[in-house]
Amino acid sequence: EVQLLESGGGLVQPGGSLRLSCAASGFTFSSHAMGWVRQAPGKGLEWVSGLSGSGGSAYYADSVRGRFTISRDNSKNTLYLQMSSLRVEDTAVFYCATWDWNYYFLDYWGQGTLVTVSS
């Protein structure tokens, strides 16, 4: 059974940093592209970032490019999202998901971790 467990969310001040983690199990992690999707309170879904299985190709939404960095440790079956220069508008639940590299869909999702940016 595929399981994705996010952690690392919390309250941070504007301009601060936070690192999210996503621990994966139940599938061959290194063979799967992974992504982060966020959802602001009461709002819709927004694609944030994606990373190939090898970690060699990374993608970012314009809204986070230059502030967020996606990475993975395939030896630990873990995906990361390093977030810096956080803004109030980054407040959201962040989901990690497996991403089908060839057909562009997100097939398995974690339960999410809440990031609150507030002074």
Partner 1 sequence: QSALTQPASVSGSPGQSITISCTGTSSDVGTYDFVSWYQQHPGKAPKLMIYEDYKRPSGVSDRFSGSKSGSTASLTISGLQAEDEADYFCCSYAGSSTLFVFGTGTKVTAL
Please report whether residue 8 would count as binding partner 1 according to CB under 8 A.
no
Are 36 and 95 in contact by the 8 Å Cβ rule? The answer is yes
Q: How far apart are CA 10 and CA 61, in angstroms?
A: 22
Q: How many Cα atoms occupy the beta-carbon half-sphere of 66 within 13 Å?
A: 2
Q: What is the 3-state secondary structure (H, E, C) of 45-84?
A: EEEEEEECCCCCCEEECCCCECCEEEEEECCCCEEEEEEC
Please report whether residue 41 would count as binding partner 1 according to CB under 8 A.
no
The stretch among 13-21, 23-31, 58-66, 72-80 that binds partner 1 (CB under 8 A) is 58-66
Please report whether residue 88 would count as binding partner 1 according to CB under 8 A.
no
Please report whether residue 100 would count as binding partner 1 according to CB under 8 A.
yes
Q: Which two tokens stand for residue 9?
A: 């969310």
Please report whether residue 59 would count as binding partner 1 according to CB under 8 A.
yes
Nearer to partner 1, 50 or 115 (CB): 50
* Least spacing, CB of residue 13 vs partner 1, in Å: 27
Positions that interact with partner 1 (CB under 8 A): 35, 37, 44-47, 50, 59, 61-62, 95, 100, 103-112
